[in-house]
Structure formats: C-alpha cells, structure tokens
Copies of this chain bind each other. A is one copy, B any other.
Amino acid sequence: MRDFSEDHRWLSINTATVRCQWELDRIISECAERGIRAISPWRDQVAEVGLDKVARRLRETGLELSGYCRGGMFPAPTPEGRKLALQDNRRAVDEAKTLNAACLVLVVGGLPGALQGKAEHKDIAGARNEIRDGIASTLEYARQIEVPLAIEPLHPMYAAERACVNTMEHALDLCDLLDPERSGALGVAVDVYHVWWDPKLEAQIKRAGDARLLAFHVCDWLVPTRDLLNDRGMMGDGVIEIPRIRGWMEAAGFAGYSEVEIFSSENWWKRQGAEVLDTCIERHRSAV
C-alpha cells in the first residue's frame, strides 16, 4: 500500500468541495500552487469558465483530471426525455475527452421527477432498466472516443432522487453485462461515503479488479449525520475506515488518485477556500 503520509502526490480535489468559495479558474490556480496534481470538476463549473479556457488552464498548470462530474440521470417518463438524456450524456463524454479526464462519472438517476420533488412513478425496476439501456447507449459512443465510464453506486438514501444503483455488486453486475470483456471502457467509482456500510465491499472491490476500479473518492460519515445531502465530513472526522478501504483498492490493483469530495454547506462551504484545501492536504496524509 502506498505511503501517503509524506506528500500529497495522490491527492485529487473534487471541485464541488470549494464550489461556494471560488470559480473553477481560481480553483485550478489554488490547487496548482499547492502542488495538487489532479482535480475532478463538475460540468456547470466548467461551463461557467468555458470549456476551451479550462482545457488551456489545465495544460498550462499540468493538472490532471481524476474524473469528470458527471453523466447519468438516464430515467425519464417519456421516450423524448430519455433521448434528451442520451444527448446530454454524449455532450458530457465529449467534454470529458476535451479535458482528457480519466473517466466520466455516472450518477445514473432514480425515479423520474423525484429530484425535482415529485416522482412520476414508483417503478424502480423500470428505472433500472432505463439506466441499463442508457449506459449501454452512452458506452457505445464513449468507447469510440476512448472515454472510460465510471458507474458510481450512491448511498441507498439517494435511491429515489439521484441513483438507484446503490451497491458495488449492482454496479459490477451492470459492468459485466455491458462490458463482459473487461475492456477498461466501463467500471466503477468507489466513494467511501456511499459504500462504507456494505458488508460485501471488500469482496466486490476484489471482484472489480484493476480493470473496473476507475476512481476512488474520499470524505467521511459523520456521527450524527444531520442532513441527507449536505453533511459529509472531512476525512478523519467520521467513522469510515478509509485506510482499510484504500488497502482493499490497492490490493485489487488500483494505483490512482484519492479524490476528496465533500458537500457540506453547513460546514466546509462556509470556510475560507485556502483553509479547506490545506485541510484536505493534511487529512490526505493523516487519515487516508
């Protein structure tokens, strides 16, 4: 297992972590100044600055993209809606290619309308079929231009609104179905916040292996957790055995970045951006 205690070569910052403090342009500068070698930006943050400008800034600074957030959200109540989702995913693949991202992260979607506050139906099995078909279609294009897709299983508390793929096992079943040859074109993003509770986690990470382990996201599960969405903790402040899970990842062949992704309007979003990044660096060394 790699020693993270001496430097932060393998730290990546998911740019949602400081989205309330800085625009992406500034985030790139602040990360580069601190010797952070990778980020994972969100599409709206890229759009705000401009895709070409972001690509240029990445080249200038030498920053890599450990991932690009995000594609997915495939289910829709109408064929028209599903077609629009596919078109949008195709654009996300193109952007990921332009930015040379290691993968496009897929938050696959839940019950149509639920994220907007009212589910159009309750047919979760049907939504899962639409997700399977949506990934299959997006994968066909992403393969051509060589952008790996990373299915991110989300915590089951997000099954209705955000993603009804909620376990590594389910995500890997989809991978096996759609990419049986384990080509590297389709895999998973392992976010400890979403999967730490799963008694099958170690076995499923092993099952995934190097070919399917496309990203590793870290933060912590706070006790108590006060909000379903905006109460992620900084690594070391919660109850997740992050080093143990990273050990499982590395034993399975993963040798990429540890990407810090914290949403926390109640806490970290209110602090100075510099303090947040410096804490990420320190905790990456001491708690990841």
Contacts and interface: CB of A to CB of B under 8 A. Distances in A.
Contact of A197 (B123, B159, B223, B228): B159
Nearest to A167: B199
Interface in A129-160: 155-157, 159-160
The contact size tier of chain A is 20 to 34
A170 B167 CA distance: 13
A124 B160 contact: no
B164 A239 contact: no
B159 A124 contact: no
A239 B119 contact: yes
A224 B199 CA distance: 27
A214 interface: no
A117 interface: yes
Interface string A11-33: 00000000000000000000000
A198 interface: yes
B155 A122 contact: no
A123 B245 CA distance: 12
Contact of A161 (B156, B167, B223, B228): B223
A223 B156 contact: no
13 contacts: A111-B223, A114-B223, A114-B239, A119-B223, A122-B241, A123-B241, A155-B157, A156-B157, A164-B199, A166-B198, A166-B199, A170-B199, A224-B228
